[in-house]
Every structure is written in structure tokens, then in C-alpha cells.
Amino acid sequence: MLDYHNEWLLPAEHRFPLPETTTGRIWLEIGCGNGHFLAAMLRLHPEISWVALEYKRKRVLKTLEKLKKLGEPAVTLIYGDFFTLAPKKLPPQAFERILLNFPDPWPKKRHAKKRLVGPSTLPWLYDLLLPGGMLCVATDAPDFAAQILDLLEADPRFVNLHPPYRRERPEFPGTLYLERWQRERRELHFFDYRKETLPLPK
């Protein structure tokens, strides 16, 4: 069942529900854009339920249009900001996989804190994943790719499954940005990190 929420119309303490699932598999897409990738994934893998976040209203509306054409997909679509949603409003250890497909790389140094993978957001991403869950990030920005590598390679809670990164991701459908960057022959970086559950200190 398609479930839509506007974060800014709800109380600050509101916690968002997870979509219905018959398989226990729920994925999170942060920055779903116009819904191009999400709709394609729902067609390919109807057994997976989704939570999808998007910050820009026009993109949310386009995503809604695509999802409604699919009938009653198991999707919770949230119009909101990851930086306020992740710490308190999304359930911990809920997601088998988290995907960030070409998020804004915020190339200027003074804007680096806005990147969706950074020192402030990594604890949130870790907490949202199930044990053994995967964090998958795609970017065309070399500086952002270097930051991802530096940050996650230094964190023993994550294991890089394809070091240092992949140049293609054939198991997933394309995104609008992916198609654009491929036409421009940009170097692409696909990261896949598994969440490790470390033993408690004795």
C-alpha cells in the first residue's frame, strides 16, 4: 500500500511507519528524485518494500505520479529532510539496504557538512541498517568518492564488498543521472558496504 507523508505538516516527535511487507525485506532510498529508479525496482522486485525520502516537492509529486500507476506498491514516501528524519523519526535496524543514487556532492568545502555520507550522518546510516545490511552509494564526483572511501575504510563497522569501488552496477536499473553521466563519459563510483556487528568490549 502506498503511504505518503509530509514531514513538515506533522509534529516534531512523529515517527514514520514502515511499509507492509510479506518477506521482511525493506529498503530505504535517500533522495529518490523523480522516482525513476524506485519505480523500475518495484517492477523488477515486487517482493521488496520501500521507504523513499525526497527533499524537493516537485520531485516528490513526480514520484507519486509514477507510484500511483503501479497500483498499490508497498512504499512509504516521505517529503522531508534526511538530517531531521534519520536521528529520531525513522526506526532503527529496519532496513536491509540503504541506497543513495548520485546524491548532491556539495563540492564547495563550506558545504561539505551537507553531504549525505559524512562524519555526522554515518552513525545514523549504521543505526538504520539491519545487521548484515548494505549501504550502497553511487557518485560521479571524485572528491565525494574520496571522502566516502576515507570515512568508511577507517570505520570497522563497515566492510567494503568491492574494494575500492565498482565502475558499474549491472544488477540495478539505471537512474536519470546515471544515464546522463554515462553519455558524458564521466568516471562513476559504486560503493557497497556491509554493516558488521562488532562484539561488545569485555
Using an 8 Å Cβ cutoff, are 78 and 53 in contact? Answer: yes
Whether 150 sits among the annotated catalytic residues: the reply is no
Q: One of 81, 104, 127, 155 is an active-site residue; which one?
A: 104
CB 18 within 8 A of CB 91: yes
> Secondary structure of the chain in the HEC alphabet?
CEEEEEHHHCCCCCCCCCCCCCCCCEEEEECCCCCHHHHHHHHHCCCCEEEEEECCHHHHHHHHHHHHCCCCCCEEEEECCHHHHHHHCCCCCCEEEEEEECCCCCCCHHHHHHCCCCCCCHHHHHHHEEEEEEEEEEECCHHHHHHHHHHHHCCCCEEECCCCCECCCCCCCCCHHHHHHHHCCCCCEEEEEEECCCCCCC
By annotation, the residues acting in catalysis are: 104
